[in-house]
Amino acid sequence: MGKTLLELQSELAVSKRLIATLEAELDLYKQKYRDEVDNNEYKTKYRELLDSHWDWKLKQKSLTELNYDGDETPK
């Protein structure tokens, strides 16, 4: 008539193991992707912070250009 109950149970068990393996690989891929995204977001935020610092510093320099003597050591 077709497959026996034992054959069907065996195929079901193999299918469940394959699904579990694929889900584990998917979770690993998601974690790697999230780590990469987080890392890029961190780099972007850091660059923006540096840019804003240098923008502020140049603005301060231009505001005090007449008195600017080139000495950038903190006082």
Tens place of pLDDT per residue across the chain (75 aa): 578 999 999 999 999 999 999 999 999 998 888 887 777 878 888 888 888 888 887 777 777 665 656 666 665
> What pLDDT, on the 0 to 100 scale, is given for residue 22?
94
Instruction: Provide the H-helix boundaries in the chain.
Output: 5-63
> What pLDDT, on the 0 to 100 scale, is given for residue 72?
60
Whether the model clears a pTM of 0.85, i.e. scores above it, the answer is: no
> What pLDDT, on the 0 to 100 scale, is given for residue 60?
75
Q: Whose structure tokens read 């007449």?
A: 66
> What pLDDT, on the 0 to 100 scale, is given for residue 73?
65
